[in-house]
Amino acid sequence: MKIDYDIVIIGGSLAGYQAALAAIQLHATVALVQPQVNDELNYHHALSELAKKAQQSLDLVNLGIFAPPVNSASDIYFHGQNHPTAGLPAKSPPAMSNFGSAKAVQEAMLYARGVAANLSHINSLANLAAQGVDIIFDNGQFQSSPKLGFAVKDRILRGRTYLLACGSRPAIPEIEGLQATGYLTLANIWQSLDQSNPPKNWVIIGGLPQSIEIAQTLARLGGNVILIVKHRSILSHLDPEIAQLLLAQLEVDGVRVITQTVVTQVLKIGDKKWVQAGDIAIETDEILVATGQQPNLESLNLAAAGVKFYPHRLVVNEKLQTTNHRIYACGDAIGGYDIANLANYEANIALKNALFFPKFTVNYRSLPWGISSQPMVTQVGLTENQAKRQYGKNEVFVLKQYFKTLAAAQIKGEITGICKLIVRENGEILGCSILGEEAAELINLIALAISQNIQVKHLANLAPVYPCFTEILVETAREWGKQRLDKNYALQEFLQSFFYFRRNWNL
């Protein structure tokens, strides 16, 4: 039976787009089946990045300081960057009669929509189609008889391999009264801010990276926000020390965080919603549910293709093959956090295996991830606790340095931050966690060092441009030499004797 495509990519996620682009650039024949266009990811990150700049403008107004008039979204951006107070820690806004400043919120939304539109244009399906990708807008499903194929629009797409990059939708927990009361999710929250009188009081249920970002954004735009997390830490995969610092920053910004608490009931009384969290009853205007994601798999008829899956993820091996070796998967479909760079990494591995020979395996050890908070939090490799469990306490060095020691941080007024490097005694870098300005750029350097087996001593020997935030990595890496020397009493005695001899010999 004739094969129409080298690969058929199923799903409308950004990872699917990137996979299709990479495949067509390799001169493969590609079909992309996309059920819908979704730009919530771009929209969310655009507004999160703007929150700090918008809050700086709000602070000037709240403090009674004259601020130049803002006439456009670009004005907000440039005033936030160039105003004398730019870079100072944003304070919690005072109580307001409505959600922040109506104009500031409108400008923030305008800016976010503009950024999302620009990114959607850059990552447009028209661009893929122009390069030769067959784009099919419709839902479809697998069929196995007489041969494996994907049925869509009265047509059977025959591919040598298939890639599931279908993304996900919010998973809604079973909470008494939630459906009857009504709620928002990560897919539709930003539309609620387009209202003339958006909700001011928020309860956010769930400990995802996105829920933390949104909680801080809403608080910095003037909302009253309560974040409820069922675990002890606000984010279970984050280094506990970094998580505690992030929690402190959220509270400074006005977010009330309730941990180790489960929401058991939701009610609506009059025009207000009530949330029962443990033994606490909370009155609020709106509820955001962000407890997890549900892969969009139900309509694909995976059983017919011999693909095994659980309610929240597909079963894949280390080569990202499903239980049908011709069908691969990446991103939300295989579980984990909804983080773009992780999904793109998986898509790249799956694509190479699908188009050529399945010999590439995923290795998350050197893959960084982050939370777009202010300041940003990023992490790669092992945390302190994970490293000590794996290698033993005596083998692991924990190196720390605070951003307030940096000239660049002092100049920009971004002194809140810490760099925490986890290293073995032999100099092998095991992991790193950073909270602070430029954390995303810094963690990428550590990820590269881990992937290339670069030892910490080489980081310590860097001579970065001055002033810059990269100095934090150099200063942290130098702690490794100090700690090794502190533990080596024989070397300390030798050095004392050596320099004593040198001093006397010079005389």
Domains belonging to the chain, first-starting first, are 5-35+137-170+294-365 (3.50.50.60), 178-291 (3.50.50.60), 375-490 (3.30.390.30)
pLDDT at 481: 87
Burial string for 237-254 (b: 16+ CB within 10 Å, else e) reads ebbebbbebbbebbeebb
**Cβ within 8 Å of residue 126, ≥6 positions away:** none
Instruction: Kindly indicate the confidence band of residue 57, based on its pLDDT and cuts at 50, 70 and 90.
Output: very low
Average pLDDT in the 461-483 region?
92
Residue the block writes with tokens 């011709």: 326
CA distances from 306 to 144, 303, 326, 335, 347 (A): 9, 5, 10, 19, 21
Average pLDDT in the 150-156 region?
89
The shares of helix, strand and coil residues in the chain, as percent rounded to the nearest 5, are 40, 20, 35
Instruction: Kindly indicate the confidence band of residue 198, based on its pLDDT and cuts at 50, 70 and 90.
Output: confident
Give percent of the chain with pLDDT exceeding 90.
53
CB atoms under 10 Å from CB of 177, counted, come to 15
pLDDT at 70 over 70: no
**Cβ within 8 Å of residue 101, ≥6 positions away:** 58, 61, 222
pLDDT at 192 over 90: no
CB atoms under 10 Å from CB of 482, counted, come to 11
Of the listed ranges 76-80, 126-130, 167-171, the least confidently predicted one is 76-80
- DSSP for residue 222: T
pLDDT at 294: 85
pLDDT in tens, 11-47: 878 888 899 999 999 999 999 998 854 444 455 555 5
pLDDT at 77 over 60: no
Mean pLDDT of the chain: 83
